[in-house]
Chains A and B, each alone.
Chain A
Amino acid sequence: MSGDRKRDMRSAINRLKYYGYAAMVLLSVLALPAAAGAATTSTTINSAISSVISVFTSNGTVTANVTPTGAGAQTIASDTITVSTNDTLGYTLQIADADATTTMVSGANSLAASLGTQASPIAQAVNTWGYRVDGLGGFGAGPTSGQSSAAIGAIKFAGMPANSSPNTLKTTATTASNDTTTIWYGVAANTTQPTGTYIDIVTYTCTAN
């Protein structure tokens, strides 16, 4: 090998060395952001979700007008209660009269509450009013359907309990989203019941368990 070729080889090797150093420097620079990223701190995000509960009904007033007959006529109308809660223990829905007087009143006249109870409901007697929920307590499966001043049927109703002794309509054990309960009100009257606009106030109570 001549002296010129040896010099050429050395200079080629030196060039390769410089390229290597340059590549290393370049890689180090490129790696800097990654190293800087590794030095960042983490953040913990906390979020407390509050518990909520809601109750809605389809009607503020359930109208059950009756045109009485001698034998008695019955009107049945419904109300739908909708409950939502994110409480994991679920909710309890209760019903009771707003006060201790469970009759529907029109001036000096009154329409008695049914003598049936939620556990032992009875077919509606004339000149009484009551409620039922299909499939609950002793009411039976139903299905109940609305009617207007028709003959009194065999479907069973309970009297509204006083405010001090509410009845439970539903108890759940988990969260609920638009969970509905349909409650049917029945009013039966014959021609001995004085005419008038009868009214009573019922309270639906809903609390988380």
Chain B
Amino acid sequence: MKSVIRSGVLLFSVAVLACVGIVTSAATTHAASGGLTISPTSVDVTVAPGGTYKGEMLVMNQGELDIAYSVYATPYSVTGEEYKPYFSPVKGATDITKWFTFDKSGNDSLKIGTQENIPYTITVPKNVGAGGYYATVFAETADKGGAGVVTRKRVGMIVYLRVSGSVKESGSINSWNVDWMQQAPLRADVKVANTGSAHFKASVQVTVSDLFGSKKFSYERSPEILPQKLRDIPVSWENGATYGLFKVNGTVTYLNKTEQLPTRYVFVANLPMRLLTVVALIAFIALIVFVSKRVAVRKK
């Protein structure tokens, strides 16, 4: 009888656990994700005054819900050396959003797993001066709700537009900072200034090697540098060595020239390892002094 009761309790427990599992998994899958994917993330185009450019932006629904979305253009500018993006009009800057026309303004219901191209045209007025002009094309979800905080998601494609003509192109490397003593991750900063009237790409290549010349880390990026702006390009050796002496080399290629960055040596260690290194160094020096004195005494 007891064994029957035990079996019953066991079966009941298993059933309850199974139900909890079902509820848990149902709760997990219920947290459906909604959002958008776009491609490309940026375009770099050159158009003559009075000319047009036709392009396409791909909008994808890779989420778990059908999505309503709209497409529109905003101005694009940056603030600070870290290039914090800003999408509202700026006083004194040309708002080029009126130059954009879209063949589609969005979709009331982009089905799960589907995608569509959004053709757009940039029409540059004839009287526009040569130089760089910037905008962002956004795809934004049209979430609606009756209560609480409704969250809309928007992803943007940055448009780097160069209006051809007499464009002033100039820039320089403003600084190259690598602290000689650091904690992991090893970090270096190169700042590139654009003193011209149009954007350019700065190809930054940095390598970190040990004292024997063995390459441990390499970094290569080509960010856009906007006119009359200084950009800080941080180089970080994530998940890299936590202790050691390293050599940091680099080059920056921009406006058809390559500049070599001065070699820097970095000692990477956290605080306890720094103290340990100092103690070991003192002990080593003391040992040398002691041995030298012993040798001198024996010679006498």
Residues of A within 8 A of B (CB): 50-65, 79, 81-82, 84-85, 87-89, 92, 94, 98, 104, 129, 163-164, 166, 168, 171, 173-174, 185, 197-209
Contacts and interface: CB of A to CB of B under 8 A. Distances in A.
Q: Considering residues A50, A79, A81, A199, which has the most beta carbons from chain B within 10 angstroms of its beta carbon?
A: A199
Interface in B253-292: none
Contacts of A51: 39-42
A61 B151 contact: yes
A85 B151 contact: no
Contacts of A62: 148-149, 151
Q: Considering residues A55, A58, A65, which has the most beta carbons from chain B within 10 angstroms of its beta carbon?
A: A55
Q: Considering residues B31, B34, B150, B238, which has the most beta carbons from chain A within 10 angstroms of its beta carbon?
A: B150
B77 to A, nearest CB: 12
Q: Considering residues A56, A84, A171, A199, which has the most beta carbons from chain B within 10 angstroms of its beta carbon?
A: A56
Given A61-B143, A92-B85, A168-B84, A204 B154 contact: yes
Contact of A205 (B60, B156, B236): B156
Contact of B236 (A58, A85, A171, A173): A173
26 contacts: A50-B58, A51-B39, A51-B42, A53-B41, A54-B36, A55-B155, A57-B33, A57-B35, A58-B31, A59-B151, A61-B147, A64-B149, A65-B148, A84-B37, A85-B41, A89-B223, A104-B149, A163-B88, A166-B87, A199-B146, A199-B149, A201-B149, A203-B154, A204-B153, A207-B41, A207-B136
Interface of B: 31-42, 58, 60, 62-63, 65, 82-88, 136, 138, 140-141, 143, 145-156, 158, 221, 223, 234, 236, 238
4 closest A-B pairs by beta carbon, nearest first, are: A56-B35, A54-B37, A61-B145, A208-B41
